[in-house]
């Protein structure tokens, strides 16, 4: 795991802190099962941070921008119906 992947994972963990441990593990597992998507998200977050956004804001912005694909991944993983 690269440093950027680690930092992204920690940021996501903070964002999903209200979930149960099982749900958190499932969400993180879905990202790990989709490394290309994870890499795209990390790169886009990094671009947003470099352009001046705070990390949390950048993650929220990028996730909202990729919401359709996220929902598909969550459906495939059984997290949502």
Helix H segments across the chain? 3-15, 21-33, 35-50, 55-65, 67-76
In a domain, 74, yes or no: yes
Q: Confirm whether 10 is domain-assigned.
A: no
* 1 has a pLDDT exceeding 70: no
Identify the domain containing residue 30 by its residue range: 22-81
User: How many Cβ atoms are within 10 Å of 64's Cβ, its own excluded?
Assistant: 9
Count of domains for the chain: 1
Q: Specify the pTM.
A: 0.68
pLDDT category of residue 22 using cuts at 50, 70 and 90:
confident
- Residue 72 in domain: yes
The answer as to whether 17 is a domain residue is no
Over the stretch 23-80, which tens digit does the pLDDT of each residue have? Answer: 878 877 877 788 888 888 888 988 999 999 998 899 889 989 999 988 888 888 787 7
């Amino acid at each position: 795991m690269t440093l950027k992947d680690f930092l992204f994972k920690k940021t996501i963990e903070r964002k999903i802190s209200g979930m149960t441990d099982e749900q958190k593990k499932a969400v993180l597992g879905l990202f790990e099962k989709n490394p290309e998507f994870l890499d795209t998200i990390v790169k886009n977050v990094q671009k947003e941070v470099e352009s001046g956004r705070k990390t949390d804001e950048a993650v929220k912005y990028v996730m909202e921008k990729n919401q359709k694909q996220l929902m598909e991944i969550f459906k495939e993983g059984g997290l949502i119906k």
